[in-house]
Amino acid sequence: MSRLNVYHNAVFLQSASKLSQCPTAITAEVAFAGRSNAGKSSAINTLTDNKKLARTSKTPGRTQLINYFSINAEKSLVDLPGYGYAKVPISMKREWDKNLTEYLQSRDVLKGLVLLMDIRHPMQEFDTMMLNQAIDNEMPVRILLTKCDKLKKGPAKSTLLAVEKHLRESEVDDLVSVQLFSSLKNEGVKELVSVLDSWFLTSEDEVV
């Protein structure tokens, strides 16, 4: 029946606080980005079926380092620091934003970006900024509307349709797609796996 989910093999590889510390042996990676508290670390844990892998927290701003989880010797998942957390000093905020921009622009092995947004507050200023940067760098993006368990089915679907419409009207729907996701209910995992598989597979084709 279902193929083995290779993401279940993920193990912690290392942390990095700047680009120069990022692992060099990896040939393909997918990064998880989004506002603080959007559910990035939880989504990684859900995808990998390992609740202890990435640290999650009720306190926003928990993940301040770039954390790498390797799937095998060449492929990794990356938990990026949450951006836009209001309570950190403005200088630190600027530093994070600068680092994220630099990461998108210069990390060649980055094959795609999973951009997480709390379904109750999608497409905030920082999300749009991140999305535009990804588009400028021709980076494929999968938007996860997270914590969809917090809304009833109808409103969740309406938000999904509204974001889809926005992407179509902005003519970025060839590069950017969107889905519902809930770590709490294990919802949207299969769809996410197939997107990640396609990004990692494309990167294998490039190597050959």
Ligand X SMILES: Nc1nc2c(ncn2[C@@H]2O[C@H](COP(=O)(O)OP(=O)(O)OP(=O)(O)O)[C@@H](O)[C@H]2O)c(=O)[nH]1
Contact residues: ligand X, CB under 6 A? 34, 36-42, 56-58, 60-63, 82, 146-147, 149-150, 182-184
Contact flags string 54-93 toward Mg ion, x per CB under 5 A: --------xx------------------------------
| Angstrom distance (rounded) from CA 147 to CA 151 | 8
Chosen from Mg ion, ligand X, none, partner binding at 149 (C-beta under 5 to 8 Å by type): ligand X
41 contacts Mg ion (rule: CB under 5 A): yes
Q: Of 166-185, which residues contact Mg ion (CB under 5 A)?
A: none
**Residue with smaller CB distance to Mg ion, 38 or 160:** 38
Chosen from Mg ion, ligand X, none, partner binding at 183 (C-beta under 5 to 8 Å by type): ligand X
Shortest distance, position 148 Cβ to ligand X, whole Å: 7
Nearest CA-CA partner of 113 in 39, 30, 191, 46: 30
Count of CB atoms within 10 A of residue 197's CB? 14
Shortest distance, position 40 Cβ to Mg ion, whole Å: 5
Q: CA 188, 194, 200: angle at the middle one, nearest 5?
A: 130
**Residue with smaller CB distance to ligand X, 68 or 203:** 68
The binding site for Mg ion (CB under 5 A) comprises 40-41, 62-63
